[in-house]
Structure 1
Amino acid sequence: MMWTDLPGDRPFVLLATRAEDLPADEEYALFLRYTGLPPERLHRIRLERDPMPALDLDDVAGIMVGGSPFNASDPLEKKSSVQQRVEAEMAALLDEVVARDVPFLGACYGVGTLGTHLDATIDGTFAEPISVVEVTLTDDGRSDPLAAGLPDRFSAFVGHKEAITALPQAAVLLASSPTCPVQMFRVGRNVYATQFHPELDIDGIVTRIHAYAGYGYFAAEELQSTLAAVRRAPVTAPSRMLRTFVERYAR
């Protein structure tokens, strides 16, 4: 349901990097659905297609980052020219976002981008197959405004080849899981990243499983078991974070 009484008039920005139109468009639709924003208040920028335009952070309410097939920890020779451009643009943006504590929420790829900015250790140690995991809030997470309304433990969709192994002191750990110690963290008061996907529902993750079947997330013979893995538990709680983010920062 879209808000009809949303405060302010400044748009939020969704930075996207999916080259495939079906999962890219579905990702945008999911962010619209779970934030409750109308399209005119959530501006999508497809960075895999076009260079990042100049963003005046005084003119936006907040920035969100969707997932990506890019891996920050890949060696330079494995990164395409597009990925290298996107990483440079994200680094320049995060210089300003972190310095000014601009509202920011990065989902999955947000860990790679924000973690890299913080010089965190990012590698494949805590990679997770596409599945549903149980995420637990830390004490700091339970008191964090963005986690308001979330249970102490909740199911979430994951699927990533890299993760943060060691979180820098500048960051506050907000959530963890048995297979990935850093599932959510905060920098300053307003800059967030999650390893899990708060925007996904079951239809959305099934679309991505099919779209990225040849990207190394699972072997060809594991397609059916991967589809079964994302249905092993209902996932309803994480999307509340998106509505909370908009409610907190709309202006």
Structure 2
Amino acid sequence: MARFLLLQLRPETEASDDEYRAFLDKGGLRGDQVHRVRLDREDLPAGLDVADYAGVIVGGGPGCVSDAPADKSPVEARIEAACLSLMPRITRDDVPFLGCCYGIGILAHHLGAEVSKARYGEPVGAVDCRVTAPDPLLDGLPERFAAFVGHKEAVQALPEGAVQLLASDPCPFQMIRHGRNVYATQFHPEADAAVFETRIRVYGGRGYFAPEEADGLIAMCRAADVVWPARILRNFVARYG
């Protein structure tokens, strides 16, 4: 099958490598089925055409689309510009896309919707999601399930032309679809308790939680029943791969 393009945004190698392994594991992918690009370290390849891939997957990262330009590091600004540069082609031609966490901000911002810290930010932890509309990527999932979240910003209103697929009480836009093939989630479909434990350790000083809360958050993640979100990633791979 054609490879998937995986765009990673995490400048911390431990978190980036762990995320990469999680996408492979949860998506049922081999390394040779993925073109991995670490945007914190490299530019998009010259002449890259998203239509040459089975689909595009964007991982999460510590940056926020809604941060003021002056508050973004050069790396964060470059990553954001690279991701946004692909969105016109992806949305115009309905190229299969799955944006995870940061990816929902990129998609919504490109579509003209407000992405901000005004409402719907969620602390690190597990949140109860509920299905609001049927979709092939939700095949085999229950009507309600838990997913791992942790974000400072969120989509404030459904982008024009998009469909709300999943909601939670703290954040109504947990998963959306634009067209037939362009998806984004606020939660992390690749993350299990071990993956989130790594991120808690890595991002302890990035403002998501107080450092003294780390041990309690790790215990909470280990106790949480988060098993279903990975099915979304596997359904995406199965549908487009």
Counterpart pick for 1:30 among 22, 26, 36: 22
1:74 match: secondary structure: coil
1:1-251 equivalence runs, <5 A: 9-53=1-45, 54-124=47-117, 125-138=119-132, 140=133, 143-250=134-241
Deviations 1:69-92 (A, max 9, x none): 010001111011122122122111
The TM-score normalised by the length of structure 1 is 0.93
Structure-2 separation of matches of 1:130 and 1:26:
18
Contact between 2:111 and 2:160, CA under 8 Å: does it hold in 1? Answer: no
Structure-1 separation of matches of 2:152 and 2:223:
21
Contact between 2:113 and 2:160, CA under 8 Å: does it hold in 1? Answer: no
Runs (4 or more) in structure 1 with deviation over 3 Å come to none
TM-aligned CA deviation for residue 43 of structure 1: 1.3
Contact between 1:128 and 1:158, CA under 8 Å: does it hold in 2? Answer: yes
Contact between 1:12 and 1:41, CA under 8 Å: does it hold in 2? Answer: yes
Structure-1 separation of matches of 2:90 and 2:65:
19
Identity rate, percent: 49
Contact between 1:34 and 1:199, CA under 8 Å: does it hold in 2? Answer: yes
Structure-1 separation of matches of 2:51 and 2:172:
34
Contact between 2:50 and 2:86, CA under 8 Å: does it hold in 1? Answer: no
Aligned partner letter, 2:147:
A
Structure-1 separation of matches of 2:166 and 2:220:
22
Deviations 1:209-229 (A, max 9, x none): 000000000012222222233
Deviations 1:141-177 (A, max 9, x none): xx20111111100000000000011112211000000
TM-aligned CA deviation for residue 233 of structure 1: 2.2
Structure-1 separation of matches of 2:238 and 2:106:
24
Aligned partner letter, 1:171:
A
2:36 match: secondary structure: strand
TM-aligned CA deviation for residue 110 of structure 1: 0.7
Contact between 2:165 and 2:174, CA under 8 Å: does it hold in 1? Answer: yes
Contact between 1:176 and 1:182, CA under 8 Å: does it hold in 2? Answer: yes
Contact between 1:130 and 1:230, CA under 8 Å: does it hold in 2? Answer: no
Contact between 2:166 and 2:176, CA under 8 Å: does it hold in 1? Answer: yes
TM-aligned CA deviation for residue 232 of structure 1: 4.0
Structure-1 separation of matches of 2:25 and 2:159:
33
Paired residues in the alignment total: 239
Aligned partner letter, 2:143:
D
Structure-2 separation of matches of 1:41 and 1:224:
36
TM-aligned CA deviation for residue 123 of structure 1: 1.4
Aligned partner letter, 2:122:
E
Aligned partner letter, 1:22:
E
Deviations 1:40-77 (A, max 9, x none): 10111000111111322232100001111010001111
